[in-house]
A and B are shown apart, each in its own frame.
Chain A
């Protein structure tokens, strides 16, 4: 019979309950089954959600939906292990061990610290260096964030089949290399933590960049990247200045999203945005993390990027932006990682400090011009610099080039407006 007898009694599931529980349950099951059986953990969890979907409409939501799901997933995993008769014959001790830890007599309540440990272990497994970076991101999105291959494909502008292949390859490699389900310790930890931060940074960027894809999925990517980074920061193994710097960068960048479009859905430049629309709560959180990131003497790339984001976010308007400070931060970033995209961004700051001519000279010195030639923002920046030094014809040509290279409609429309600016 249906769940409730009166409207007031209707119980609703918490937002994102399934997604959150799926990541947690996969972590817990993988903790028992081992990283080589990641797929079994994923399948059991997926099936438990399907069972809920088939039964709860008739019987109502159980008192403790999370516990119901976990019990069901554990039973399914255990059934599967028992059915592998070959395995049972050869490895009876392991089956007994699984029964002890998954069976009805196993403790139902999991210690929150233990769950946090398992989730972090799974994060380190997904971001293991034996996996290529694009495989790491796909696996993290599938297992930790509960995105389907179709959703991941939308996020990465890849085909669903390609994503499915990546996931299969990921699980294979984890098995082949016998990747352990553990949080790295000792001298190994800093490098492995760096790997996890890099993936979270890429996921966030993928979600944030306005270049492609489904709006809702991209917002999910940003949210999930922040959620995982927060989990990391809350754990002793991940509570590192660079983690806080990354969180500061994510929050300060996400804070500006509400001002990114005008009322007609047009993409706005930073200097055009209505800064009162920016999210004060996120700015506050970002600044808190930025303060915590200052512990220690390391300045990671996230520290520098977060500091630049803070300069922009804290300036009440474009004119009062502390461009000299931003330029100094870009100088340090460029010294750390000579990279044409960083050099291009530095040129934008340089234009505001020393004027457009100096900036154009700097752009002309950027190494790897061939790669930059195909990058629409390279032409957009050059167009802006030429316009700033009152050369509308050159500017217009650059904006036209940028327009032809831009991959989304909002970006092409922004360039169309800039071409119009040149004619005025």
Chain B
């Protein structure tokens, strides 16, 4: 069954600290990335986008039940920013992500469809509806 077009989240991961790029190369990469954002916005393909700081924390409850901080998100490949694409097919979202200029400099993008409703919750509701039918 074909899914309705839905919003997609792009998570930009920078894998390297770009130490090996010269200022000139960094500027070229920046120019290309800015132009990329501008093209998306001009085409109405940008719902929201924000950068994220590298610093942050990851917390979890360990086996004893205590809340511990860490392990910290791997800073070598932290999520540097996110972008939400308006409703589209998954393939379209992938095609757009493939044009992200930072791919040429070791960047990686994760592409995730944004569920309009929690999928398991939705399934549960459907099952309940069936049972009552």
> Interface of A with B (CB < 8 Å)?
1-5, 7, 10, 12-13, 16-19, 21-22, 46, 49-50, 52-59, 61, 146-151, 220
Instruction: For the complex, give the distance between the alpha carbons of A288 and B10 in Å.
Output: 56
Instruction: For the complex, give the distance between the alpha carbons of A49 and B25 in Å.
Output: 10
Instruction: For the complex, give the distance between the alpha carbons of A149 and B25 in Å.
Output: 12
> Interface of B with A (CB < 8 Å)?
14, 17-27, 29-31, 33-34, 36-38, 40-42, 46, 48-51, 80-81
Instruction: For the complex, give the distance between the alpha carbons of A54 and B101 in Å.
Output: 12
Contact count A vs B, C-beta below 8 Å: 89
Main secondary structure, interface of A, reads helix
A17-B27 in contact given A54-B14, A58-B51 (Cβ < 8 Å): yes
A59-B51 in contact given A13-B30, A17-B27, A54-B80 (Cβ < 8 Å): yes
A57-B23 in contact given A1-B48, A50-B17 (Cβ < 8 Å): no
By a CB distance below 8 angstroms, the chain A residues around B25 are 148
Q: Is the CB of B42 within 8 A of A7?
A: yes
Minimum Cβ distance to chain B for residue A70 (Å): 14
Q: Is the CB of B49 within 8 A of A58?
A: yes
Minimum Cβ distance to chain B for residue A416 (Å): 36
By a CB distance below 8 angstroms, the chain B residues around A49 are 23, 26-27
By a CB distance below 8 angstroms, the chain B residues around A5 are 41
Q: Is the CB of B22 within 8 A of A19?
A: yes
A3-B26 in contact given A55-B51, A148-B20 (Cβ < 8 Å): no
By a CB distance below 8 angstroms, the chain A residues around B46 are 1-2
Instruction: For the complex, give the distance between the alpha carbons of A59 and B81 in Å.
Output: 12
Shortest 10 CB-CB distances between A and B: which pairs? A148-B22, A18-B23, A18-B27, A146-B23, A2-B37, A22-B23, A2-B41, A53-B30, A57-B33, A58-B51
Q: Is the CB of A57 within 8 A of B26?
A: no
By a CB distance below 8 angstroms, the chain A residues around B30 are 13, 18, 52-53, 56-57
Can you name 5 A-B residue pairings with CB atoms under 8 Å? A1-B41, A10-B38, A54-B80, A55-B51, A149-B20
In chain A, what residue has the closest Cβ to B27? A18
Q: Is the CB of A19 within 8 A of B20?
A: no
- Starting from the known contacts A3-B34, A21-B23, A59-B51, 17 additional A-B residue pairs (CB-CB under 8 Å) come to A1-B41, A1-B46, A3-B37, A5-B41, A16-B24, A18-B24, A18-B27, A49-B27, A50-B17, A53-B29, A54-B80, A57-B30, A58-B81, A61-B34, A146-B22, A147-B24, A220-B24
In chain A, what residue has the closest Cβ to B46? A2
Minimum Cβ distance to chain B for residue A180 (Å): 26
